[in-house]
Structure 1
Amino acid sequence: MSRVVGKPKVRRRPSLPMRRWITRAEFEALMEAEVFPREERLELLAGELTRREPVNTAHAVAVVLVSEALQQVLPKNLHLRAQLPLALSDYDEPFPDLAVVSGSPRDYLSQHPTSALLVVEVSEASLKTDREVKGSLYASAGIPEYWILNLRERVLEVYREPAADTRAVYGAAYRWQQTLSASEQVSPLFAPDARLAVQHLLP
């Protein structure tokens, strides 16, 4: 009789004194060696391998829409990266849906960007993680602006002013938050005179 293997049946993760964290360098080496199938869409958060939210059609369309809107207002000294790594610490390498970073693409031939001016996550199933875990991670890295395109509620959540916060997962959080409906507009910090309609970002 075959046995179905599922996740460990624990109510909460045990605190194991001999736990072995994975570093960003090790994670990159494992990915380069194709130890894990690419379709698993893994990223590294707090030294642990984490699966990213699956890209369904709405998610994919939203990434393209936000990308097109941001491309129109990008200054020449910035560029946009879609679903590519950010090397934020020795134990953190997320793959945000979109990130606006300084310089040109060739500036990152030797290593991934270590920061960004804006990070955007398109979120539905991963909403709690994107708010509580990734929001704290991006704040701890000093990223000045973070957007969550919330497909569940069809709003854009805008986070700014990263600051220390002992209650947050990474010890930092955004002090300023605004939720914009489809009828409203947003101006990125890197292009304050631009006006992007939230309805044009939503699928």
Structure 2
Amino acid sequence: MSMLTPPGMGGQYRITGGKYPRMRPPRRRGRLVAVAVASVAVLGLLGWGVLQLVDVFTGGTKATAAGRTADCRTKAAAAPAARTESLPAPGRITVNVYNATPRAGLAKKTADELKKRGFRIGTVGNAPKQYDKKVKAPGLLLGSPAAQDTSLRVLGTQLTGALTRADARSRADVDLIIGDAFTGLAARPAVTRTPASPEPAPSVRKGC
């Protein structure tokens, strides 16, 4: 009987030979896979960092900044143009001039001056009864609701302090009713400053 055979384990269960069985620890394949994945991730991050540094030193950041600046300039230039196109020129506006004061000749004189400034002139005369001697402001501008932000906005630059109201008309013409506080139309330098851009310059958004 071999010395490797435990007592009572003879017969067919007897162990023969002169070598001990080799005992190997189980392979930890899961740990090896995790280490490999982590190594690949670290190498990827390092590569990305190198590419970013190369981009910075070769001017990639400058190109991006230049593109952003050009885009902002384009948008800023387009905004005033859109506002200018939305307002009609004086030559496309027909103005009816009425005098609501006791002073004679104001309607004709004012209409002549508006004509020199490019406006079309419609009816000229005394104000209707509902407004006659009832306008205390320098003037009252009347027009359809659609004219409030177009024709009346342009006409309003000609008379400082004028009131603006909408009425039920559907026509495109507008009325200028001269009131008690009227002393004359706005000076020409003030008129040429607008009407194309009565709004302040657009604010530049962050990042531009």
TM-score of the alignment, normalized to the shorter chain, above 0.5: no
TM-score (norm 1): 0.25
Going by fraction, where is strand more abundant, 1 or 2? Answer: 1
TM-score (norm. length: structure 2): 0.24
Relative to its length, the structure with more helix (as a share) is 2
Q: Which structure has the bigger radius of gyration?
A: 2
More contact order relative to length (CA 8 Å, sep ≥ 6): 2
